[in-house]
Amino acid sequence: MKCKLLLLLTLASPAFAGLIFTLNSPTGVGAPGDSIIFSGTLLDDDLDTSFLFLNAIAVSFTPPGGTFLSPDANFFFQNVIGVLQSPPDIFPDSYTGPIFKIDVAPNTPAGTYFGTIQIEGGHNDPGETNVLATQTFQVVMAPEPGLTGLTLAALACLALARSRSQRRRA
């Protein structure tokens, strides 16, 4: 009897699937002072026509990333539709485009920084902040050419001019 009751309760409860979150590229490359935009797709993969509210993002960094990188939460709200529905009826079942932006401090040293983003929300309740999906990403800071690059370029120009000058004399 207990087994039948458990089976009946399992069948009667709504089967909420989740959010499928993919990034076009999990690696963003930039320089100090840049803003790096990560794009991808958010897909409501259930088939019960429930609303899937996308209410917030939470971004964390592996140290020392949080010292130099900061997420722009407003970017998510300005770009991503707040509700998905599958199959699409009132709202679409997916969003593809820019999802989040990371601002890089001007004093960020060259290196690779690792982070995690969570999309938070819930089914049929616009106030929920359950973790719906998570992705890892990395930000690669390329060294700026700065004075080293300019110095090397100037030395190359001087060497070229000198070699031309010596050829003319010969």
Residue pair 100/57 in contact by the 8 Å Cβ criterion: yes
Residues 6 or more apart from 62 whose CB is under 8 A from it? Answer: 113, 114, 115
Helices marked H in the chain: 2-12, 65-68, 73-79, 146-169
Q: Give the list of residues 6+ apart from residue 131 with CB closer than 8 angstroms, or none.
A: 58, 118, 119, 120
Rounded CA separation 72/59 (Å): 9
Quick one: pLDDT at residue 67?
97
> With contact defined as beta carbons under 8 Å apart, do 25 and 91 qualify?
no
pTM of this structure:
0.75
Enumerate the domain spans of the chain: 15-145
What's the pLDDT at 154? 63
* 3-class secondary structure, 95: strand
Question: For residue range 120-150, what is the model confidence (pLDDT) as tens digits?
Answer: 999 878 889 999 999 999 999 987 665 455 5
49: tokens are 């026509």
The pLDDT of residue 157 is 64
Superfamily of segment(s) 15-145: Immunoglobulins (2.60.40.10)
